[in-house]
Structure 1
Amino acid sequence: MENVSQEDKLESIKAFQSTIHKSENALSNMAQKSNNTTLLQKRLQAFYIGLALLDKQWNQKAHSYTKEDITEAQLVLIGLFPSLESMYAKAKEGSPQKTLLERRIRAFHLAVQAMETYRL
């Protein structure tokens, strides 16, 4: 895995925590409205795993995910890149949204790298 500054590590952890928080809220709202939550649940699981693997990589925290869990999470995160990059391209330069997307994309890339390490 590439060398990552302490600031990037903190921003990546925060990006995952923010994404998880927003996804948990969305899942709760969708469940109340009896909407299909399968896709969101799958993404949320990938976010949990991504965060856990970054924590493992940088803070030596343990996780209990299997290689299959990690592989599936990696595919989910990789599948999100096209839409994230599309939103990033459309975001106004210097806007908070663009900054958030920048950090989220970076965090997801780092998590995918960490997942590759643990899948082997």
Structure 2
Amino acid sequence: MEDVSHAVKLESIKSFQSTIRKMEKALAQMTQKGANTTLIKKRLNALLIGLDVLENVWNQRPLHYTEEALTDARIVLNGLLPTIRNSYVKSKAGSPQRTLLERRIKSLELAVQAIDDSFIGLS
């Protein structure tokens, strides 16, 4: 995994935590309305795994996921990137929204990279 500054590590972890909180709120609202929650549950699970993978790499926290769970999370996280990048392109330069999106993109990319690197250890 690339060498990442302490500041980027903190921003990435905070970005994941923020995104997870938003997904949890959205899941609660959708559940209350009786909407289909399959997709949001899948995304929330992938985000939780992504955060755990980063904390494992950077903070030596234990990681207890199967190769299949990591693969599924990688696919979902990678699938979120095009939409976020598209929102980033449409955002105004210097805006708080753009900064948030930059951090979200970076954190997702780092999580995908960390998952990829974890497969080296699983082989």
Give the shorter-chain TM-score range: over 0.9
Which residue is equivalent to 1:73? Answer: 73
Figure out how many residues of one structure are paired with residues of the other and give that number.
120
Indicate yes or no: 2:22 matched with 1:22: yes
Moved over 4 A (4+): none
Partner of 1:41: 41
Q: Which amino acid in structure 2 is aligned with residue 6 of structure 1?
A: H
Distance 2:65 2:48 in 1: 10
Give 1:111's aligned residue. 111
Alignment of 1:69-108 (within 5 A): 69-108=69-108
TM-score scaled to structure 2, two decimals? 0.96
Distance in 2 (alpha carbons) for counterparts of 1:72 and 1:109 = 15
SS at match of 2:18: helix
8 Å CA contact retained: 1:67, 1:118: no
State the 1:119 CA deviation: 2.2
- The alignment's TM-score, normalised by the length of structure 1, stands at 0.98
1:58 aligns with 58
Query: Structure 2: any 5+ residue segments left out of the alignment?
Result: none
- Return the alpha-carbon distance in structure 2 between the equivalents of residues 92 and 117 of structure 1: 34
Q: Deviations over 1:46-101 (max 9, x none)?
A: 00000000000000000211110000000001111110110000011111110000
Calculate the aligned-residue CA RMSD, in Å.
0.6
**Aligned letter for 1:9?**
K
AA aligned to 1:35 is A
